[in-house]
Structure 1
Amino acid sequence: MNCNLLANINNPIDLRKLPENQLPQLAKELRDFIIDIVSKKEGHLGASLGVVELTIALHYVFNTPEDLLVWDVGHQAYGHKILTERQAVFHTNRELNGISGFPKRSESPYDAFGVGHSSTSISAALGMALASQLKGEINKQHIAVIGDASIASGMAFEGLNHAGVTDANLLVILNDNAIGIDPSIGALKDYLTAVKEGKNPKQNNIIKSLNFDYSGPIDGHDLPKLISELERLKLVKGPKFLHVITTKGKGLQLAEEEQVKYHAPGKFDAETGKIHPKDESHLPPKFQDVFGHTLVELAQKNEKIIGITPAMPTGSSMKYMMEAFPKRAFDVGIAEQHAVTLAAGMATQGMVVFCNIYSTFLQRAYDQVIHDVALQNLPVIFCLDRAGLVGEDGATHHGVFDIAYLNCIPNLIIAAPKDEEELRNIMYTASEGLNYPIA
Structure 2
Amino acid sequence: MGLLDTIESPADLKALSLPELRELADEIRVLLIEKVSATGGHLGPNLGVVELTMALHYVFDSPEEPIIFDTSHQSYVHKILTGRGALFDTLRQKGGLSGYTCRAESEHDWTESSHASAALSYADGLSKAKRLAGLGHQNVVAVVGDGALTGGMCWEALNNIADGDRNVVIVVNDNGRSYSPTIGGFANNLTHLRSQLAAIRIQPGYDEVMESGKRTLKSMGWVGERTFEALHALKEGVKYQVLPTEMFPELGMKYVGPVEGHDLKALTNALNYAHNYDGPIIIHVVTEKGHGFAPAVNNRADQMHSTGVIDPVTGEALTASAPGWTSVFSEELLRAAHERDDIVALTAAMAGPTGLTPFAEKFPERFFDVGIAEQHAVTSAAGMALGGLHPVVAIYSTFLNRGFDQLLMDVGLIEQPVTLVLDRSGVTGSDGASHNGVWDLALTSIVPGIRVAAPRDPARLREEFREAIAVDDGPTVVRFPKGSVGEDIDALERLPGGVDVLARPAGEASESELDVLIVAVGSFAEQAVEVARRSEGSDVRVTVVDPRWVVPVNPELLDLAAAADMVVVYEDGVVRGGIGSALGEAMSLAGLDTPLRHLAFPDVFPPHGSRGQILEEYGLDAQSAFDSVHQWAGELGD
Tell me the TM-score normalised to structure 2 length.
0.66
Contact kept? 2:159, 2:251, Cα under 8 Å: yes
Instruction: Tell me what 1:222 maps to.
Output: 263
1: CA distance between counterparts of 2:307 and 2:131? 43
In 2, Cα distance between equivalents of 1:246 and 1:279? 31
Which residue is equivalent to 1:297? 335
Q: After superposition, give the CA deviation of every residue in 1:253-274 in whole Å (9 maximum; x if it has no partner).
A: 111111515112222222x233
Percent identity, aligned pairs only, is 40
Deviation at 1:211, TM superposition (A): 2.1
1:322 aligns with 2:360: yes
Question: Partners of 2:54 and 2:243 in 1: how far apart?
Answer: 29
Q: What's the secondary structure of 2:172's corresponding residue?
A: strand
* CA distance in structure 2 between the aligned counterparts of 1:349 and 1:64, rounded to whole angstroms: 51
**CA distances 1:33-66 after superposition (whole Å, capped 9, x unpaired):** 1111011111110000000001111111111111
For 1:290 and 1:422, locate their aligned partners in 2 and report how far apart those are by CA, in whole Å. Answer: 10
Candidates 329, 332, 347, aligned match of 1:309: 347
Amino acid at match of 1:360: T
- C-alpha distance in structure 1 between counterparts of 2:314 and 2:254, whole Å: 40
Task: Give yes or no for the alignment of 1:210 onto 2:248.
Answer: no
Q: Distance in 2 between matches of 1:378 and 1:129?
A: 42
Question: What is the alpha-carbon distance in structure 1 between the residues aligned to residue 101 and residue 469 of structure 2?
Answer: 41
Equivalences for residues 100-139 of structure 1 within 5 A: 100-139=98-137
Deviations 1:384-418 (A, max 9, x none): 11100111000000000110111111111111111
Counterpart-to-counterpart distance in 1, 2:380 and 2:120: 25
Q: Distance in 2 between matches of 1:203 and 1:16?
A: 31
Find the counterpart in structure 2 of residue 21 from structure 1.
19
The counterpart of 1:62, out of the listed 60, 63, 79, is 60
Are positions 1:417 and 2:455 aligned together? yes
Aligned residue in 2 for 1:163: 161
- 1:268 paired with 2:306, answer no
Query: Aligned equivalents of 1:55 and 1:438: distance in 2?
Result: 43
Q: Deviations over 1:345-368 (max 9, x none)?
A: 011122111111111101001110
Amino acid at match of 1:241: I
Structure-1 residue corresponding to 2:28? 30
Contact 1:266–1:275 under 8 Å retained in 2: no
Give distance in 2, aligned partners of 1:330 and 1:275: 31
Higher relative contact order (CA 8 A, sep 6+): 1
| 8 Å contact kept, 2:67–2:140 | yes
Shift of 1:202: 6.7
1:106 positional shift: 2.1
What residue is the counterpart of 1:257 in the other structure?
298
Residue 189 (structure 2) aligned to one of 182, 191, 194:
191
CA shift for structure 1 position 145: 0.3
Tell me whether 1:407 sits opposite 2:449 in the alignment: no
TM-fit CA distance, 1:21: 2.7
- The one-letter code of the counterpart of 2:263 is D
Q: Does 1:374 align with 2:412?
A: yes
Report the Cα distance in structure 1 between the residues aligned to 2:30 and 2:247, rounded to whole angstroms. Answer: 37
Distance 1:202 1:5 in 2: 37
Describe the superposition over 1:15-44 as per-residue Cα deviations: whole angstroms up to 9, x where unpaired.
112123310000000111111101111111
The residue aligned with 1:235 is: 276
CA-to-aligned-CA distance 1:160-211 (integer Å, 9 cap, x gap): 1111101111000000000111111111111100111139x97773413212
Over 3 Å counting, the alpha-carbon distance change for 1:264 and 1:238 in structure 2 is same
CA distance in 2, matches of 1:135, 1:57: 27
> What count of residue pairs does the alignment treat as equivalent?
432
Deviations 1:299-319 (A, max 9, x none): 001001011111110111011
TM-score (norm 1): 0.96
Q: Which residue of 1 aligns with 2:509?
A: none
Is this contact kept in 1: 2:416–2:472, CA < 8 A? no
Specify the code of the residue in structure 1 equivalent to 2:448: P
Q: Which amino acid aligns with 2:93?
A: E
Distance 1:37 1:393 in 2: 16
Supply the AA of the counterpart residue of 1:214.
Y
1:391 equivalenced with 2:432 (yes/no): no
Return the alpha-carbon distance in structure 2 between the equivalents of residues 117 and 356 of structure 1.
Answer: 17
Q: Indicate whether 1:247 and 2:285 are aligned.
A: no
Show the counterpart of 1:428. Answer: 466
In structure 2, what is the Cα distance between the partners aligned to 1:182 and 1:384? 18
Are the aligned partners of 1:150 and 1:334 in contact in 2 as well (CA < 8 Å)? yes
Distance 1:77 1:225 in 2: 21
Which ranges in structure 2 are unaligned for 5 or more consecutive residues?
200-241, 478-638
Task: Quote the Cα distance in structure 2 between the aligned partners of 1:203 and 1:45.
Answer: 34
Secondary structure of the corresponding residue to residue 31 of structure 2: helix
Aligned partner of residue 266 in structure 1, secondary structure: coil
Which has the higher Rg, Structure 1 or Structure 2? 2
Give the secondary-structure state (helix, strand or coil) at the position aligned to 2:353.
coil
Other-structure match for 1:84: 82
Distance 2:166 2:404 in 1: 31
What is the letter of the counterpart of residue 294 of structure 1?
E
Distance 1:196 1:181 in 2: 19
Name the structure 2 match of 1:365.
403
